[in-house]
Structure 1
Amino acid sequence: MWANSLVVLLPLVVYVLARPSPDCEHKVKEQLGAPPRGWTIHGPAPADHSIQLRIALPQPNFGVLEEHLYAVSDPVHERYGQHLSKEEVEELVAPHPESVDAVTEWLASHGIQEESIGRSPAGDWFNIRVPVSVAEEMLNTKYHVWQHADGDFLVRTTAYSLPAVVFDHVELIQPTTMFGRFKALKSTIHSVHKANAPIPSANSPPIVDAATGVTVDASCNSTITVTCLKELYNAVGVTPSAHVGNSVGITGYLEQFANRADLQAFFEDQVPAAAAAKSTFKFISVNGGLDSQNASDAGVEANLDTQFAFGLTFPAASTFYSTAGEPPFIPDIGTPTDTNEPYAQWLDFVLSHPSPPLVISTSYGDDEQTVPESFAKRACAGFAQLGARGVTLTASSGDGGVGDGDPDPATQQCITNDGTNRTAFIPGFPASCPFITAVGGTFLVPETAVPFSGGGFSNFFARPSYQDAAVEGFLNKLPKGTFAGLFNPNGRAIPDVSAQSVNFRVFVAGEPNLVAGTSASSPAFAGFIGLLNDGRLKKGLPPLGFVNPLLYSKAASGFNDITTGNNPGCGTEGFNATKGWDAVTGLGTPNFGKLLKLVT
């Protein structure tokens, strides 16, 4: 068994243990060329403002973990499906003891003792809480309160340095240069409006999709329900089991609360068996996340995600994670609690658990360029750890087409944040992480690409090999010079797949609403992954885990190819949906019946 020889696979690296002192020479670790667009200095940061610093130690063997991840995720590899344990993953991402000692001594030199240091499960992140005055001394920098043109405030700096003796033992420290806005790390919901109390009856004959051969109720062109999704994606009559160990999870941020009463109303409306069973979800608080069940606090995003993901997969075990965090700083109300990029807190938490849900969806995202590249890559490495353990991660591709997250192409600025002020397409994160399955959007029956479907190419992550054939085929079909200089043709391409994204019937505060956005596509697609896992588990097979290599190879024929529509933005018409993979709908939408045969 490979695990027994794990130590043989790890490269031997020897560091000389350095003993830092607080007054030794500093070297610049990270520096912004210019303040990000829209941000100006409001004033100096209060010296006693409390800030939680997250210190990433290098993961010298991450490349080995990545090799294992691709081996267990490649359907033609002999180790396909042999996912790693929590302990095996932690061994592969653990920092060298020399790094741990060097950083611990550096912190001690600033009065931060062992008992005040929080550590991630693998010990590759240190967490400390210090006043701004101490952070400034440690990092040889100056923090300011920055204000965005839209009114948000952050405590950040544009550069920080580290003592030379710990420089190579630290990969990054945040919050420092991260100007991603919590409001920009938003639900990718595109629109919400009230729905009719009963599901409307379309006084028309059913729609027969000539391309897929499926028959869909005519009402699905105006209202999407669980039944519509099962009809569209060839899963009518599928009966999941409650006894095979299947599980589905939803992440919630920005004080978005999933309401149990609304879930019951949704079940009564669309999943009678779940209503009869009084099915509900397990709530897990992350970093102090709350679980308000007041009807007035019900979140459209949280309700959308839980209702459709759990409605599609009932009776699989369901979990809702509530991760604390909201706009972190209002300078006129004293010293508040500062916060970080929330994916980090959630990753620390979920990686500490031995049995996370087998598929987890997130419908939140940010412009890739608002997240420092070092942090985006480190968070992406965390997602890879979950994939290696057999977890499928899905994320919305965004609602700005090829643009900057603004759903109105007319008001998108699409200006780079690196000080050069170039016009460019703006990909989203975490969808751009190659270890996540990015889900774009479609609408109508027969399906066409929805104009707001986020798509394009990462500027941080290189195109993974599993995408090469599909994406090169798409790029070769583009007329020469199309969008020259506006995107990185060698970057990781998004989305991977798509699903319906308009007029989802969601209950909020007891009332039905119609919701649109790729925030609907991600939990819907996650639901079908959950159904595929159910089929595999019934046959004694392992869960799908990191699915992208499978989707682009053996399972590629299990998708409905979407060939119409485009995703305008940045003053352009964006990319066109076309035969094969495209940067609007990816490989297309799922045909569950075909996929089940391909994966079981």
Structure 2
Amino acid sequence: MKLHSAWLAFVTLPFLRVFAVPAPSHHDCAHVVKERVEPPRNWVPLGPAPADHILELRIGLPQPNFHLLEEALYQVSDPYHDRYGVHYSKEAVEEMVAPHPTSVTAVEEWLETYGIGESDLTRSSAGDWVKIRVPIALAEEMLHTTYSIWAHTLDGDLVVRTTSYSLPQYLHPHIELIQPTTMFARLKGMKSTLHWPDHDEEVTYFSQAKAVPTLTQALGSIQVDPSCTQTITLSCLRQLYNATGYNSSATNGNVLGITGYLEQYLNIQDLQQFYALYRPDAVNSTFAYVSINGGQNSQNISEAGPEADLDSQYAWGLTYPTGGIFYSTGGSPPINLSAHTPTNTNEPYAEWIDYVLNQTNPPQTISTSYGDDEQTVPQSYAVRVCNDLAQLGARGVSLLFSSGDFGVGDGNPNPANQTCLTNDGRNLTRFIPDFPASCPFVTTVGGTIGVPETAVFFSGGGFSNYFPRPSYQDSAVTGYLSKLPPGLYEGLYNPNGRAYPDVSALAYNFSIVNQGKLGKIGGTSASGPTFAAIVSLLNDARLSSGLPVLGFLNPLLYTKGIAGLTDITMGHNPGCGTQGFNATTGWDPVTGLGTPNFGMLKDIILSTT
């Protein structure tokens, strides 16, 4: 498609100096398809995208020395390595992922042929991402493609996307990917259940703690109150995970971050009422709020988000007085607006990564309860985002992600309605892994239920189709696979893929305050921040002992850390018309290595220097 002169005469936009094409030589270069996808199921095109709709294109430049970063990450994360805990600075990490100068020059010259100069660019801190704002008409000219408005047949959400784009052949070695183009992902919060048996009961705000019942139920050497079999509270988690009596510091610089997306607002009134009920010493405490990409945090009680309330109440309730940060990131992949007038079609997760990577001192622990079906995320984009997360790990950040709430299924909460078909045009029946849960550079948290714990039926788990199995989990995963009956689920999963979850925690019947009322909620949205809180307490213990924080956890968890985890051996995660995988002795793709024993983990990490 050519940019017509009538379009040039009509449009005057402040973010580009000119739209003229001064150097036809690059335009005449043969364009070759860079990426092509099959439209995922349930997405249908409505028609051409409006020519004046603005896209913020993210151009990923190759990271030729990423292998050096990966090597460095594993060195500082391996408890048996001499460099364990010697994390890298922001500047050192950026140097390892910086693009080659020839790629920078090639991309700059290409953009200049479309009148896009340096003042029109936004670069990531490492220079490996370049962002530009252009109208659809210009994006189509640059990428030799056609954008359409696509609607999701299940809920009517709209998104502006294309199924393929092309670049001049000489640019292929210098541009790894461009989005939004072929990405149809639908970022979602990990919630399988939301129960409000007491939702007609107003929460009474009071300053006195409820009486803690006598501990009577024995689980080996751990005593847990019998009420915890029906309702999970902060006290239940502290008892079950052997954290009772540990007091974190308010002055050692430890911070626990929580991410929020999709207009999930963290309500301060709800948080304070929860503290009054279950953590009275935290009443009137505050947290830092960071808005990214226009993210909001409305305090209208009717807009209080159960996801954000759950994450904050349990993560910070378990770790108080450790500092807290809530990141509210605006935007979402599909925008539900009137037809042909979408105003924001960018995927918000990348905006959060950009922001955090640009911070000199990010939180030592960050919990995320969002993700998507791996197959709806183009592999090039998934790999790049995963590599960005590795940067945070090398800098000493522990990243915890919920594993998903649909077992091995495709995101439909009714297992009977799960289709579990591939989106590659072949429509093969396969288990559907989640991303970023499948990224090998994060710690993924599955779910359990009950006291004593068994695997909860919705615990997401399985094997990535994008990422190969990392060496740190070779022994654990091959041990599990060797115990599977021959031929079981053959062809439904990738036995050589990155396996998840890594660990687990309780994920059902959590008592929260939402919109001023008390109720119960469940999902790996509960287990993720719970395990993150335990990690934050471990970081607190190391900081208070003069030791560096833990950073990327998995090499530790799969070695020395196993002794501080309680193996979960019962339950399964059904989906796709199957019973899914079984929990069993050792690692399994339902509960991972097991649930945390804070006291034992603390002893391990304090003896690991």
Using structure 1 for the length normalisation, give the TM-score: 0.93
The equivalent residue for 2:227 is: 219
The structural deviation recorded for 1:19 is 11
Partner of residue 557, structure 1: 563
Counterpart of 1:128 in structure 2 is 132
Deviations 1:373-416 (A, max 9, x none): 00000000010000000000000100000111223211111111
User: Does residue 35 in structure 1 map to residue 27 in structure 2?
Assistant: no
Residue 172 (structure 1) aligned to one of 142, 162, 177: 177
Provide Cα deviations, 1:521-548, integer angstroms capped at 9, x if missing partner. 0000000001101111111000000000
Matched, 1:64 2:72: no
The answer to whether the Cα contact below 8 Å between 2:457 and 2:574 also exists between their aligned partners in 1 is yes
Equivalent-residue separation in structure 1 for 2:552 and 2:242 (angstroms): 23
Structure 1, residues 294-327: CA drift from partner, whole Å, max 9, x if none? 1111110011111111111111110000000146
Q: CA deviation at 1:200?
A: 9.9
Residues 429-484 of structure 1 show CA distances to partners (whole Å, capped at 9, x for unaligned) of: 11000111000000100000000000100000000000000000000000110101
1:112 to 113, 116, 119: 116
* 2:442 aligned residue: 436
CA deviations over 1:258-316 (Å, ceiling 9, x no partner)? 111111111111111111xx112100011111121111111100111111111111111
1:367 to 370, 373, 389: 373
Aligned to 2:101: 97
Once the two structures are TM-superposed, the CA of residue 334 in structure 1 deviates from its matched residue by 5.7
**Where does 1:19-58 land on structure 2 (aligned, <5 Å)?**
21-32=26-37, 34-58=38-62
Letter in 2 for 1:238: Y
- CA separation of 1:330 and 1:393: change in aligned 2, threshold 3 A: closer
- The CA distance in 2 between the partners of 1:339 and 1:353, in whole Å, is 25
Specify the alignment match of 2:141 in structure 1. Answer: 137
Match of 2:601 in 1: 595
1:190 matches 2:193? yes
Give the SS at the match of 1:146: strand
State the Cα deviation string for residues 217-247 of structure 1 (Å, max 9, x = none): 1111111111100000011101001111111
Paired residue for 2:90, among 80, 86, 90? Answer: 86
Answer whether contact 2:189 2:307 (CA < 8 A) is retained: no
SS in 2 for 1:528: helix
The letter of the residue matching 1:105 is: E
Question: Closer, same or farther in 2 for the Cα pair 1:551/1:23, shift >3 Å?
Answer: same
Tell me, yes or no, if structure 1 residue 282 matches structure 2 residue 288.
yes
Distance in 2 separating the partners of 1:192 and 1:375: 35
Structure 1 counterpart of 2:9: none
Q: Indicate conservation of the 8 Å contact 1:363/1:519, yes or no.
A: yes
Judge conservation of contact 1:202–1:218 (CA < 8 Å) in 2: no
- SS of 1:145's equivalent in the other structure is strand
Correspondent of 1:243 among 251, 265, 288: 251
- Equivalent of 1:147, from 126, 147, 151? 151
Query: How many residue pairs get matched?
Result: 576
Q: Distance in 2 between matches of 1:305 and 1:323?
A: 15
1:339-390 alpha-carbon deviations (Å, 9 max, x no partner) = 3222210000000000000000000110000100000000000100000000
What residue ranges of structure 2 are gaps of 5+ in the alignment? 1-22
2:588 aligns with 582
Structure 2 match to 1:207: 217
Find the aligned partners of 2:115 and 2:279 in 1 and give their Cα distance: 57
For 1:450, the equivalent position in structure 2 comes to 456
**Structure-2 residue corresponding to 1:256:** 264
User: Once structures 1 and 2 are overlaid, which stretch shifts more, 340-349 or 393-402?
Assistant: 340-349
Corresponding residue SS for 1:438: strand
User: What is the alpha-carbon distance in structure 1 between the residues aligned to residue 363 and residue 186 of structure 2?
Assistant: 28
What SS does the aligned partner of 1:262 have? helix
Q: Quick one: distance in 1 between partners of 2:214 and 2:238?
A: 19
User: 2: distance between equivalents of 1:334 and 1:474?
Assistant: 50
1:519 maps onto 2:525 in alignment? yes
Moved more, 20-29 or 533-542: 20-29
Aligned to 1:351: 357
The residue number in structure 1 matching 2:10 is none
The amino acid of 2:229's aligned partner reads N
Deviations 1:73-123 (A, max 9, x none): 000000000000000011111101111111011111111111111111101
For the residue of structure 1 that corresponds to 2:196, the secondary structure is strand
Tell me how far apart the structure 2 counterparts of residues 219 and 201 of structure 1 sit (CA, whole Å): 12
SS of match in other structure, 1:90: helix
**Which is worse superposed, 68-77 or 139-148?**
139-148
Which residue number in structure 2 is paired with residue 409 of structure 1? 415
> Which residue, out of 58, 74, 78, partners 2:78?
74
Q: Which amino acid aligns with 1:565?
A: G
Match of residue 570 from structure 1:
576
Trace 1:371-520 onto structure 2 (pairs within 5 A).
371-520=377-526
Deviations 1:17-60 (A, max 9, x none): x996223111110011x321111211111111111110000000
What secondary structure is seen at the aligned counterpart in 2 of 1:470?
helix
| Other structure's SS at 2:160 match | strand
Higher deviation after alignment, 340-349 or 480-489 = 340-349
Alpha-carbon offset, residue 330 of structure 1: 5.2
Report SS of the residue matched to 1:374.
Answer: helix
Tell me the amino acid that sits aligned with residue 519 of structure 1.
S
TM-align CA RMSD: 1.8
Name the CA distance, whole Å, in 1 between partners of 2:72 and 2:484.
Answer: 35
Q: 1:20 to 1:192 in 2, by over 3 A?
A: farther
Shift of 1:189: 4.4
Q: For residue 187 of structure 1, report the CA deviation from its aligned partner.
A: 3.7
Is the Cα–Cα contact under 8 Å of residues 495 and 583 in structure 1 kept in the other structure? yes
Mean Cα deviation higher: 552-561 or 336-345:
336-345
Answer whether contact 2:149 2:340 (CA < 8 A) is retained.
no
Work out whether residues 189 and 301 of structure 1, in 8 Å CA contact, stay in contact via their aligned partners in 2: no
Matching residue of 1:4: none
Aligned-pair distance for 1:333?
Answer: 5.8
CA contact (8 A) 1:328 1:337 kept: no
User: How many percent identity over aligned positions?
Assistant: 59
Q: 1:217 to 1:461 in 2, by over 3 A?
A: same
The whole-number CA distance in structure 1 between the counterparts of 2:378 and 2:210 is 46
